Structure 1
Amino acid sequence: MNQLEDIKKFTTIVADSGDIASIRHYKPQDATTNPSLILQATKLMNYQPLLDNAITYARKKGGNRTTQIINASDKLTINIGTEILKNIPGKISTEVDVRDSFNQDMCVTKAYKLINLYQENGIEKSRILIKLASTWEGVKAAEELEKVNIHCNLTLLFSFAQARICAEAGVYLISPFVGRIYDWYNQRQSLHPYSVDDDPGVKSVCKIYEYYKKHNYHTIIMGASFRNTEQILALAGCDRLTISPSLIEKLYHSNNPVVRKLFPLIIEKVHQPTPLSESEFRWEHNEDPMAVEKLAEGIRQFAVDQRKLENLLASKL
């Protein structure tokens, strides 16, 4: 049995990809997308009909040029998500425009729009996770959406404070970014020779996992943004792991044994701490310079790719 099949015994594998051919081959449970992956997908020939459909949809909906571009972008994202859902048994994570990350109301409004577009394609909301940046406003938007059974994936998560407020808000799932945490520390002081036991990204997810299980929070932990298979294997047993096709392939072609590393705790008496206030969250999050820098950088990077996608669509409208 290869490592991919082995790790599936105790962790749900999620494809971090918009490449349907890869998804069909490796058969993950769920899949995640983001503006960068959607932009990459537009370069694949088999996605051209989905892009053309999005352009036609935007023209029919009408409105000014800006409105048409936004509608085309949203429709293309949902078309790709719908196509992916035909090839997986589980859920697709679809991201709200990252430029709304500090506007709770806009996050909620866009979430409803995405859900409605999926439903127009015949997809029930139970198969959708709305992906939001783990800002205070993003988490509060998710808390509001969860109350009407619209489940959310809180992404760009780097600090323990972010993990805390997500659990306290009762969000469905979080995506702590292992590789980007590693990158930040490695750029400032080389972590070579590499030891996965000292990897700050892996240690961050382990800390969150232990805290969630200790306090019986039901929010799912899905490690994300991996740089190597060692990081993935060190988190075997985590609720879920979202993995790029290149690393899924490496696991698929390796027959080395997989040892479970994370185990849920059995706690007889559960105590959940008092939820963080907004000011407490902002202070604790801002005490972590890595998290502050990587959250801001992640939002900027996704916004750049979102604009590139919109420019591509604008050229076709």
Structure 2
Amino acid sequence: MAAPLKQLEATGTVVIADTADFGDIARFQPSEGTTNPTLLFLAAQLSSYSALVDKAIIYARSLPATASTEDRLSAAVDALAVQFGTQIYQLTGRVSTEVDVSLSFDTPGTVAAALRILELYAAEGVARDRVRIKISATWEGIEAARILQRDHGVSCLVTVVFGLAQAVAAAEAGADAIAPYVGRIADWGKLNGSAEEDLGIKTVSRIQNHLRKYGFRTQVMAASFRNVQQVRQLAGVDLLTAAPAILEAVERETKPITAILTADLAKAASDSELPPLTFNGNEAAFRWAFNSDACAVEKSADAMRRFYADTVKLKQLLATKL
């Protein structure tokens, strides 16, 4: 019998290691890797990655003399993300890198930041088509993804997704992928009356089935797993990114892992099971649908605050070297 992770991949799920540790990435041999402010902050504190930090500082110092300290720190963060991302790319063949979360409500700013990140990757020899740009699932972020995909041919991963409205809007915008946070949705559910069922599984299953039923090409990258059972219940999701501890736990499983989510089951679902939902660029309709979902509102804001806090800590760490 195939190893558990191979069984998971056999369901059609592409497995991604949610880590910036090169050793873990090499061990699990995922087909894609990712960075975010939290992973970068943790990794940047390790002496084994000091050379990458030094390169980011050198880049920040090379900016024109008119550049402010804040501009240099922001540039250092982007450069560090690309330094890590380049190493991840060499191990996996594809990498996703996050735009500064403070730009989540700034469409032009997000587009400009994404293009700068791609220029940094190009300087490292990483082709544009091997990079995904991660953008928060705000209305402004989704519009930035639309512009990047349509006008610049940039692959976008819309992240911080906690509800169907965000997923549908991102899919309508043509985003290549979205990342709903299974574990964080489940956590919210436990605190708000969903103790009998895993709200994360329910929500992400609904998102995946909805996009498949209505013919969207956008892939679902399930993220933020708390346990192996969540992985099992989402077997068949397009993409799955999990921390090394979760992937190790999957590898210890003795019961077969079989597909739960399939395109055939999604397409066979009735309209009453998966009602149609469209926005067609209507911002007001999106905002109403989004704000009608308490979990999406609360957890999206919480996730962006957390990423921003880690970005600030990362800048403080880099400032000591700059």
Aligned twin of 1:227:
226
How far residue 187 of structure 1 moved from its aligned partner, in angstroms, is 2.1
Q: Which amino acid in 2 is paired with 1:299?
A: M
User: How far has the Cα of 1:274 moved from its partner?
Assistant: 5.9
Matched, 1:152 2:160: no
Aligned to 1:14: 16
| Partner deviation per Cα, 1:234-275 (whole Å, 9 max, x = no partner) | 01011111111110111122232111101113859xx99562
Task: Quote the offset at 1:6 in angstroms.
Answer: 1.1
Deviating above 6 A after TM superposition, structure 1's stretches of 4 or more consecutive aligned residues are: none
Within a 5 Å distance, the mapping from 1:159-308 to structure 2 comes to 159-189=163-193, 191=195, 198-265=197-264, 273=278, 275=280, 277-308=282-313
Q: TM-score normalised to the size of structure 2?
A: 0.92
Work out the CA distance in 2 between the residues paired with 1:133 and 1:98.
7
* Match in the other structure for 1:79: 83
Q: Deviations over 1:170-190 (max 9, x none)?
A: 110000111001111112347
Shift of 1:30: 0.7
Shift of 1:88: 0.8
Query: Pairwise mapping of residues 91-106 of structure 1 onto structure 2 (< 5 A)?
Result: 91-106=94-109
Query: How many pairs does the alignment contain?
Result: 310
CA–CA distance in 2 between the matches of 1:173 and 1:76? 24
Normalised to the residue count of structure 1, the TM-score between the two structures is 0.94
**Any idea what the Cα deviations from partners look like across 1:88-117, whole Å, max 9, x if unmatched?**
13x211000000000001000000000000
Alpha carbons of 1:190 and 1:158: their partners in 2 closer, same or farther (altered >3 Å)?
A: closer
CA shift for structure 1 position 33:
1.4
Matches of 1:248 and 1:33 in 2, distance apart? 17
- The equivalent residue for 2:125 is 122
Give 1:66 deviation, angstroms: 1.6
Q: Deviations over 1:279-314 (max 9, x none)?
A: 011001101111101011111110000000001111
Cα distance in structure 2, aligned partners of 1:99 and 1:274? 25
Which one-letter code corresponds to 2:114 in the other structure? A
Alpha-carbon distance between aligned partners in 1 of 2:279 and 2:111, rounded to the nearest angstrom: 26
Query: What SS is found at the alignment partner of 1:222?
Result: strand
Percent identity between the two aligned chains? 37
Letter in 1 for 2:6: E
Distance 1:92 1:275 in 2: 30
Does residue 140 (structure 1) correspond to residue 143 (structure 2)? The answer is yes
State the 1:61 CA deviation: 1.8
- Alignment partner, residue 271 of structure 2: none
Post-superposition shift, 1:45? 2.4
- Measured in 2, the distance between the counterparts of 1:179 and 1:187 equals 13
Offset of residue 2 of structure 1: 2.4
Q: Distance in 1 between matches of 2:129 and 2:226?
A: 31
Q: Distance in 1 between matches of 2:6 and 2:107?
A: 40
Structure 1 stretches lacking a partner, 5+ long: none
Partner amino acid, structure 1, of 2:284: S
Q: In structure 1, how many angstroms separate the alpha carbons of the residues matched to 2:316 and 2:75?
A: 13
Partner of 2:111: 108
1:27-50 Cα shifts (integer Å, max 9, x gaps): 011112110001011122221100
Cα distance, 1:274–1:59 mapped onto 2, change above 3 Å? closer
